[in-house]
Copies of this chain bind each other. A is one copy, B any other.
């Protein structure tokens, strides 16, 4: 068989050859922008020439500080097909972390959306490797920004050639990179090869995975700066699916409007957004009926959310699991054909799991002794992964790589159970797991159970130190507006009785105004642990682990 390299060049070419008349829709700064894959292709080749003229050569890192829009899609292809590395910058990082990742990656050029210029300007003088800044806007003008010689994206494209000779690439060449937002220490970089991105596309699009068709109209709410928006822009382009980009600072109303106006069939994002869009759809203000499915990832969707979406809106929520180190799709939760006899409630429970390993990867789940745990749906262990789209190391970070990559496996740091059918359920992040009296308590399971309470909007459970039990759970609960002041800690504890093992019932319930979140929307439990450190030390005098009525 031919030694044919798997690269994004062929992905782009297919979009032009077969789908040049299909559309890309983008919520631009001044309104909705639409163009065809044919026009997208021409602009992408112009952009590749611009990169060449800017002195970008093979292996150079090119930063993007941008929202989900069509220009970002052009960068998604122009940079890798030129042999350079697309480095998507997380615009929600603090200035210090942003400086770190740009310098650590040694970005040579940064493309920035015009409204993010102040963020970049504030750190500009700390970025010695960055030679040029290109400002993206829907006009040729650059807003006053205090930067020396910024260039206009649209002006550069207007002046560029429309033909481009692809450089020879190996499938092992780096195409993109992304830094994980570690909650402690500096972010860690992951480099994606062309091969990994292409193979990930193929597996993620399979019928039993995302089931992506040319006929789909896909809205990635998941940011393009976050693990390549789960690979969706690459996959959609390859298959010729219509793409709908939500642009700058999209709010729940924007998402609902875009889905309704552009008949979106598949939307992808974290549960936060689906919690925010739900009341807009439930009230009938917007119509979600074009959606065949919502892909939920980043954090787990609760059973109640899955149930409400299905029963009240007629929209199935598909759970997918992955991480920056895994390109990202690893698990997808669809019931097997042999599970037809499950009750509706059992199906919701199944959908709330992270699901089955996608074809192409290998997993094992190991206990503290390093041995594989039984697949009984109860025993917990750490999920280890290997496969062609799993990272082998962190970029230029041998020390921390050693902790996460051992004997050819990625240690995900996720504590999971596996049931007899092979469905993986995340019990916890290993650092969030509560180790109490020799047993493991899953903070995530507790949170999901608490969130089933009709008065609860959100809940986060953290470990607090305990002299006798080592650690005990503390529940931080956010009530729905209508219930504020009407629900007491004891009500929550009573609700848990019978639904969670006795040992798991939290020692304490704290009502808070909101769960702090990381820049990618995950619960930021370190902040909660710091906040309740005092409560914890007070509790260290207590002896009674269980406060729920017996």
Contacts and interface: CB of A to CB of B under 8 A. Distances in A.
Interface of A: 1-4, 6, 10-11, 13-14, 17-19, 21-22, 191-193, 195-196, 198-199, 201-203, 205-208, 211-215, 238-240, 327, 336-338, 356-357, 359-360, 362, 386-392, 408, 421-422
A226 B198 CA distance: 29
Contacts of A386: 2, 4
23 contacts: A1-B192, A1-B195, A1-B327, A2-B387, A2-B388, A2-B391, A4-B386, A4-B388, A6-B388, A11-B359, A14-B357, A18-B356, A19-B336, A199-B202, A202-B202, A205-B206, A205-B207, A206-B239, A214-B336, A214-B337, A215-B336, A238-B359, A240-B336
Contacts of A359: 11, 14, 201-202, 238-239
A1 B390 contact: yes
A408 B3 CA distance: 9
B203 A213 contact: no
B191 A1 contact: yes
Nearest to A190: B1
Contacts of A422: 17-18
Contacts of A240: 336
Given A18-B422, A202-B203, A359-B14, A388 B239 contact: no
A202 B238 CA distance: 14
A515 B202 CA distance: 41
Contacts of A201: 359
A202 B21 contact: no
Contacts of A215: 336-337
A4 B387 contact: yes
Nearest to A387: B4
A74 to B, nearest CB: 21
B202 A213 contact: no
Contacts of A387: 2, 4
Contacts of A192: 1
Contacts of A3: 392
B18 A357 contact: yes
A4 B410 CA distance: 12
Contacts of A391: 1-2
A1 B196 contact: yes
Contacts of A360: 6, 10, 198, 202
Contacts of A17: 357, 422
A229 to B, nearest CB: 18
A263 to B, nearest CB: 11
Most chain B CB within a 10 A radius of its CB, from A213, A238, A239, A388: A388
Contacts of A213: 207-208, 337
Contacts of A421: 18
